[in-house]
Amino acid sequence: MKRLLLSALFLVSSFAIAQPPAGYYDSATGTGYTLKTQLMQIIDDVNDGLATEYLHTQPGTSNSNAYHLLRESFSLPNSGDVDDYYEMDGNTILDMYSENPSGVDPYNWNRIPNVDYPTQYCTNQTMEGDCLSREHTLPQGFFNSLYPMRADFHFVIPVDARINNLRANNPFGEVAAPTTTFANSSELGPNTFGSYSGTVYEPIDEFKGDIARMLLYFAVRYQAETVNMGASWDAPDGVPENIMNGQAGQFYDDWFISLLCQWHSDDPVSQKEIDRNNNGWAHQNNRNPFVDNPNWVADIW
């Protein structure tokens, strides 16, 4: 049964397609981890004059309000999170954990104006289709839900709350013998990619590149935070599910970097991601460099 959460309200937005200013990436001239650091300096929140700096809050806006404002950005037309790509109705949220790109979605989420706690967002769920949640593609438990990471649009996405809950802190990976299969055929189960054999969540092929580029963005944007691993962040070797390796350059474990690079190659940048990157720019003044220039992945890793 198609599950719709109905609202009589509709969002009126002045959102327009945004692009980085001329020269935004001019200082990104190196290769390898030198290039990675140059990109970090462009997209971080340090006022070094290299670019318009990342803002995870607007003046006078608290961290918690910035976290709430993510839902407003998810609902903007042409946001990359409204389904202008498959259903193409402009009225539903695109949930990568439940979207069926080639058929009828198992359930849908209506796009509604942001309020503090829209009825379709929740933390209590018992089955798929109960409600939405904000999913941190790198689980926020590993950085103890600290800001600015927690409210960073470029790696936080709207997804089904039940799948989010069951994924828990498990990394992404590839599954041959699923223990759980969800409505759009995404799966939980033992990993078969690389050296890690623990439980992973495998999204459908359509969105593997999207997720890979979000996590590669995180590795650039927050590479300076590796000094906090084992302190305010979890230790990189604290639990097997933590795929960060504590090194500013590589950032992730060998097997996980290989997985992300493979997914990035297999699933190229889509119009959805371009729109989402533009929305992220409008939302917080920085961009995902791997959406703007996919070749940088191979140049770094």
189-234 pLDDT, tens digit per residue, is 999 999 999 999 999 999 999 999 999 999 999 999 988 888 889 8
Residue 113 pLDDT > 70 = no
Whole-number pLDDT of residue 19: 67
Relative to beta strand 187-190, strand 199-202 is antiparallel
Tokens describing residue 217: 């963005």
Give the per-residue pLDDT at 155: 97
The percent of residues in the chain predicted with pLDDT above 90, rounded, is 63
The pTM of this model reads 0.89
- Token pair 């995404």 in the structure block, residue: 186
Degrees (nearest 5) of the Cα angle 230, 165, 288?
A: 65
pLDDT of residue 114: 52
pLDDT exceeds 90 at position 91? no
Q: Which of 89-93, 101-105, 160-164, 187-191 has the lowest mean pLDDT?
A: 89-93
Residue 159: which residues within 8 A CB-CB, separation 6 or more? Answer: 95, 96, 97, 98, 132, 133, 135
- 156-166 as b/e: b if 16+ CB within 10 A: bbbbbbbbbeb
Q: How confident is the model at residue 56, as a pLDDT?
A: 54
Per-domain boundaries in the chain: 32-300
pLDDT (tens digit per residue) in 33-81: 999 999 999 999 877 766 565 555 444 455 666 777 788 788 888 889 9
pLDDT at res. 4: 30
300 near 35, Cβ under 8 Å?
Answer: yes
Q: Who has greater pLDDT, 115 or 297?
A: 297
Determine contact, residues 292/20, Cβ cutoff 8 Å.
yes
Mean pLDDT of 12-24: 57
DSSP category for residue 175: B
